[in-house]
Structure 1
Amino acid sequence: MEPFVKQVKEGQPALFTIASWMDQYEELTAGFTSRHGGVSEAPYSALNCGLHVLDKPEHVIRNRELLAEAVGQPFDAFTYAEQVHGNEVTIVSLQEKGIGRTSRESAIQAKDGFITKEKGIVLCAQFADCVPLFFYDPVQHVVGLSHAGWKGTVLNISMATISLMTHTFGSQPKDIRAAIGPSIGVCCYEVDDTVATRVYAVLEEMSAAPDEQLTVIRGKENGKYMLNLQELNRKLLVQAGIMSSHIEVTQLCTSCRSDDFFSHRKEGGSTGRMVAWIGLR
């Protein structure tokens, strides 16, 4: 069953929520935006939430306000960062609550993963094909969110996030729930030798058998490769100690489903950004 369930309410942005998590855990809000229900104009129409593209800042801020209204949390709870395709993870404190929501300069700088135990903070990360990784520990009441493009994935940002949850808040990997959100799928993600070499190195470090490697990456006749970044992240989560039964994996490809999502690759780089969010009410 698809874990990211589309929610459409009249007059609000269309959102994809992790419905099973939110049904089971009342304290949690978590999901992923669509491209529908905002005020931005083409090519960022309509719910672009990225201030770093060439959209009008006032449109982006209004879209972010609309997201907060639809989620049912105060706008000043939504906390943003400037992502750099790395594997550095930071703890978000109450002092940082709400930074970055109206300007890039005020955002958390040069980080791609975020964790918090504080209620009333909504962690946000931006996407347009890369893999959103959601983390929730219902025992220690900790949430996390990571941005995993191919660089962050081969740098194992999932392990970095889980390690920080463990060392800072006492989370146990066996208790953590993880979800892999809408992102470009193996159906559409063609990569070159530079990326493939890094991916094969990770698979070798994992001692992945040849048939396991084929679930992640396959060569093509044109010398390129088709990469399943979602499956590679799933394997890394399992390697980090997350139980397979505690991992939700989307079937939604942002490139195939450009009717619902922005896709940097499919739209030639001129497009908007979705937001993944997670927080404790």
Structure 2
Amino acid sequence: MESFQQHATAKEPSLFLLSSWMEQEPGLTAGFTGRSGGVSGSPWTSLNMGLHVGDDEETVARNRRLLAEAIGWPFEAFTCGEQVHGCAVYKVTASDRGKGRLSREDAVPDTDALMTNEPDTLLVSFYADCVPLYFYDAEHRAIALAHAGWKGTVQQIAARTLEAMHEAYGTRPDAVQAAIGPSIGDCCYEVDNYVIDRLMPVIDSFEAGDEAVQRMLRPVPDGKAMVNLKEINRQIMIKAGILPIHIEMSKWCTGCNRDLFFSHRMEGGRTGRMASWIGIRK
């Protein structure tokens, strides 16, 4: 069963909700936006959530407000980092609430993972093929969100996030619920030797069998390979101590489903961005 359930109407932004988490914890909201139901024009049509892709800032702010309204949260809670394809994890405090919602210059600088135990704070990050990673520690009511492209995957941002949550909140990895959201799949994600050479040490560290390795990186002609970033991040989570039964993994591929999602790779780099989000009410 797909973890991120599609919720779309003609008059509202398209949403993909992490329904199982939300049903277990009524105060929790978590999900991923699609590409429709917004107000952006071409080539960002129409629910572009990214301020860094050339779209009008006021238009992007309207789209972000539409998301906040659709999930029943105040726009003032919307809190973002400046994603740089690194592995820095930032502890969001009450004074950070709302950073980056209207301007990228105001976002938490140089960070690809946000964590908090502050209630009524909505963590948000942005994607157009990269892998969204969600973390929920019910024991300490702490949450985190990480952006993992191939560079963040090589730097094992999932493990760095867990380490930061343990240090800040006492989070136990075996008690964490994790989810891997919609992103480009191995059906669409072909990489060259430069990327392969950087991913292989991570894959080799799992000591997985040939079949498991094949699920993560499948060679194709011309020295290239099809890469499954979702599965690599799942293995990083397991190695870091998250139980496999506690990891939800979306089957949605942003490359295959361009009617539903933006895809940087499949649309030649000129496209909008989806948003992942997670937050807990008091």
**Could you say whether these structures have the same fold, taking a TM-score greater than 0.5 normalized by the shorter chain as the test?**
yes
Query: What is the CA distance between 1:215 and its match in structure 2?
Result: 1.2
1:163-212 CA distance string (max 9 Å, x none): 11111101111110000000000000000001111111112222223222
Unaligned runs of 5+ in 2: none
> 2:146 aligned with 1:176, yes or no?
no
> 2:33 aligned with 1:33, yes or no?
yes
| Equivalent residue, structure 2, for 1:96 | 96
| Equivalent residue, structure 2, for 1:213 | 213
TM-score (norm 2): 0.98
Percent of residue pairs bearing the same amino acid type: 49
Distance between the aligned counterparts of 1:16 and 1:73, measured in 2? 16
Distance between the aligned counterparts of 1:93 and 1:251, measured in 2? 33
1:210-232 CA distance string (max 9 Å, x none): 22211100111222100000000
Distance between the aligned counterparts of 1:211 and 1:10, measured in 2? 43
Unaligned runs of 5+ in 1: none
- Map residues 17-28 of structure 1 onto 2, 5 A cutoff: 17-28=17-28
1:46-74 CA distance string (max 9 Å, x none): 00010001111111010001010001000
Greater shift after overlay, 62-71 or 211-220? 211-220
SS at match of 2:106: coil
> 2:79 aligned with 1:79, yes or no?
yes
CA contact (8 A) 2:81 2:114 kept: no
Q: Which amino acid aligns with 2:42?
A: A
CA contact (8 A) 2:10 2:37 kept: no
Q: Which amino acid aligns with 1:168?
A: A
- Map residues 121-132 of structure 1 onto 2, 5 A cutoff: 121-132=121-132
| Equivalent residue, structure 1, for 2:227 | 227
Distance between the aligned counterparts of 1:160 and 1:74, measured in 2? 30
Distance between the aligned counterparts of 2:256 and 2:206, measured in 1? 30
RMSD: 0.8
| Equivalent residue, structure 1, for 2:43 | 43
- Map residues 47-196 of structure 1 onto 2, 5 A cutoff: 47-196=47-196
Greater shift after overlay, 197-206 or 118-127? 197-206
| Equivalent residue, structure 1, for 2:271 | 271
Distance between the aligned counterparts of 2:104 and 2:174, measured in 1? 36
1:135-174 CA distance string (max 9 Å, x none): 0011111100000000000100000100111111011111
Greater shift after overlay, 203-212 or 21-30? 203-212
| Equivalent residue, structure 2, for 1:238 | 238
Moved over 4 A (4+): none
Distance between the aligned counterparts of 2:276 and 2:79, measured in 1? 11
Distance between the aligned counterparts of 1:262 and 1:9, measured in 2? 18
| Equivalent residue, structure 2, for 1:15 | 15
Distance between the aligned counterparts of 1:203 and 1:121, measured in 2? 35
Q: Which amino acid aligns with 2:239?
A: Q
Q: Which amino acid aligns with 1:73?
A: W
Distance between the aligned counterparts of 1:81 and 1:203, measured in 2? 28
Q: Which amino acid aligns with 1:198?
A: R
Query: What is the CA distance between 1:237 and its match in structure 2?
Result: 0.5
Q: Which amino acid aligns with 2:34?
A: S
Distance between the aligned counterparts of 1:158 and 1:19, measured in 2? 22
Q: Which amino acid aligns with 1:76?
A: E
| Equivalent residue, structure 2, for 1:248 | 248
Distance between the aligned counterparts of 1:172 and 1:238, measured in 2? 13
Query: What is the CA distance between 1:10 and its match in structure 2?
Result: 4.9
Q: Which amino acid aligns with 2:110?
A: A
Distance between the aligned counterparts of 2:178 and 2:10, measured in 1? 30
